[in-house]
């Protein structure tokens, strides 16, 4: 038997129904926030990621040389594509742009719980707005997206942080800017690595960094962010946590990641500000502040199945998708053409209609109402089998 590749999923009908449910909720909330849907190609020049995503993603690229000798990659994320597209077309749109997209992404990662080699993401980005109101709006959208699945502040938390906080710190420590990215990556991994490993990598910065971890960082900007969300009744969904810096290289300001409250799963979503990426990708031709986040379907799916209220909604949606409104029994085979005419009419009106494609006769479905057993019996054996049943049960 041929098997699928590691980290790639088959979607059986119930899985497709669950996926449709997730996409429908994603789309609904993004549209509610006034975002417009867009999409880009799944294959891009490898350089787009080499230049912009940072080392971790480049190691995970599904890349190859195409028949025209081009170095290409399956997209591991959408943000570099978005920056390219916006730099090319921004003049056609009024600012700020609020764009969302739902699509499949590919990363050659070590397969583990919550991490596969393909996954779907909802991406939501706001381009051309540097005001802090956009940061609050984006995080509110991320929270509301999860709330529509029936998840509450008991189920997930948005950990927010600020790369500028760390930039100020590294400046104070007089660390040359070309070393910043390495330190930020170490801080990003610190939650997943033993303390000694992080200490060794940080060297003389280890003490001050760990002291910030222990005390929690002091940031007026992050306090204002929480206040802004509080004004919408969403403060219970967020925690300030300066340990979050994000693995991707292009972030410049606010960054955040969403986790399950129980801390059992990988990140559900992540994002932040990337005010320099569009300028860098267009060699300075177009310079626009931007921010966004992506939410993946894999960990979200795990969480939805884990939390009772969310699971009920998911299961109801799956059942609803696969249900039929009307099943037409064709009692007389000679009348099949008439039945088909009516079936056609019912379907034209939007009913979900099913019927047997071939004659059920000469077989009959018999059901023993006492035992609830069902069996198919050939038509000419019906009398015999009924007689046998009454003899055996002796009930006359």
* Footprint of ligand HAM (CB under 6 A): 77-79, 107, 109, 115-116, 119, 121, 123, 125, 248, 267-271, 292-294, 296, 298-299
357: closest CA among 379, 332, 383, 330?
330
Q: How far is the CB of 65 from ligand HAM (least distance, A)?
A: 23
Q: How far is the CB of 202 from ligand HAM (least distance, A)?
A: 23
Residue number with the shortest CB distance to ligand HAM? Answer: 296
Q: How far is the CB of 2 from ligand HAM (least distance, A)?
A: 23
Q: How far is the CB of 275 from ligand HAM (least distance, A)?
A: 11
Q: How far is the CB of 119 from ligand HAM (least distance, A)?
A: 4
182: closest CA among 205, 210, 162?
205
| Contact assessment for residue 125 and residue 79, using Cβ atoms and an 8 Å cutoff | yes
CB-nearer residue toward ligand HAM: 34 or 233: 34
H-assigned helices in 148-179:
163-172
Q: Determine the Cα–Cα distance for residues 227 and 73; give it in Å rounded to an integer.
A: 41
CB-nearer residue toward ligand HAM: 56 or 315: 56
Omega within 30 of 0 (cis) for the link into 362: yes
CB-nearer residue toward ligand HAM: 85 or 330: 85
Q: How far is the CB of 75 from ligand HAM (least distance, A)?
A: 10
CB-nearer residue toward ligand HAM: 103 or 217: 103
Omega within 30 of 0 (cis) for the link into 96: yes
Q: What is the DSSP letter of 128?
A: S
**Distance from chain centroid for Cα 160:** 19
CB-nearer residue toward ligand HAM: 56 or 199: 56
CB-nearer residue toward ligand HAM: 199 or 275: 275
Q: Determine the Cα–Cα distance for residues 82 and 284; give it in Å rounded to an integer.
A: 16
Q: How far is the CB of 188 from ligand HAM (least distance, A)?
A: 10
User: Between the CA atoms of 242, 301, 110 and 281, what dihedral angle is there, to the nearest 10 degrees?
Assistant: -60
Q: Determine the Cα–Cα distance for residues 186 and 380; give it in Å rounded to an integer.
A: 77
CB-nearer residue toward ligand HAM: 87 or 205: 87
- CB atoms near residue 47 (< 10 Å): 13
């Amino acid at each position: 038997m041929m098997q699928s590749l590691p980290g790639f999923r088959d979607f059986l009908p119930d899985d497709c129904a669950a996926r449709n449910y997730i996409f429908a909720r994603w789309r609904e909330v993004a549209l509610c926030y006034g975002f417009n849907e867009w999409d880009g190609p799944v294959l891009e020049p490898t350089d787009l990621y080499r230049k912009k995503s940072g080392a971790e993603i480049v190691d995970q690229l599904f890349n190859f040389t195409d028949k025209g000798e081009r170095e290409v990659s399956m997209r591991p994320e959408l943000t570099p594509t978005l920056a390219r597209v916006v730099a090319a077309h921004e003049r056609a749109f009024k600012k700020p742009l609020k764009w969302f997209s739902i699509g499949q992404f590919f990363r050659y990662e070590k397969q583990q719980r919550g991490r596969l080699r393909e996954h779907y993401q909802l991406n939501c980005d706001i381009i051309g707005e540097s005001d802090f109101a956009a940061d609050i709006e984006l995080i509110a959208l991320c929270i509301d997206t999860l709330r529509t699945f029936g998840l509450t502040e008991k189920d997930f938390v948005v950990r927010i942080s600020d790369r500028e906080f760390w930039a100020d710190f590294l400046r104070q420590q007089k660390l040359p800017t070309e070393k910043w990215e390495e330190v930020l990556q170490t801080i990003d991994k610190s939650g997943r690595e033993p303390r000694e490993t992080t200490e060794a990598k940080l060297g003389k910065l280890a003490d001050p960094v760990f002291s910030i971890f222990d005390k929690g960082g002091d940031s007026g900007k992050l306090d204002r962010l929480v206040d802004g969300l509080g004004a919408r009744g969403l403060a219970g969904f967020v925690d300030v946590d300066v340990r979050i810096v994000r693995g991707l290289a292009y972030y410049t300001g606010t960054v955040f990641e969403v986790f399950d409250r129980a801390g059992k799963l990988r990140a559900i979503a992540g994002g932040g500000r990337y005010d320099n990426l569009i300028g860098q990708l267009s060699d300075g031709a177009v310079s626009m502040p931007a921010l966004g986040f992506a939410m993946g379907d894999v960990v979200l799916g795990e969480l939805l199945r884990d939390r009772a209220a969310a699971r009920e909604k998911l299961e109801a949606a799956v059942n609803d998708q696969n249900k039929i409104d009307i099943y037409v029994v064709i009692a007389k085979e000679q009348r099949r053409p008439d039945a088909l005419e009516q079936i056609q009419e019912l379907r034209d009106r939007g009913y979900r209609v099913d019927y047997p494609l071939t004659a059920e006769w000469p077989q009959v479905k018999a059901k023993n109402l006492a035992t609830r057993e069902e069996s198919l019996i050939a038509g000419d054996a019906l009398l015999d089998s009924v007689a046998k049943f009454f003899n055996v049960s002796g009930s006359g």
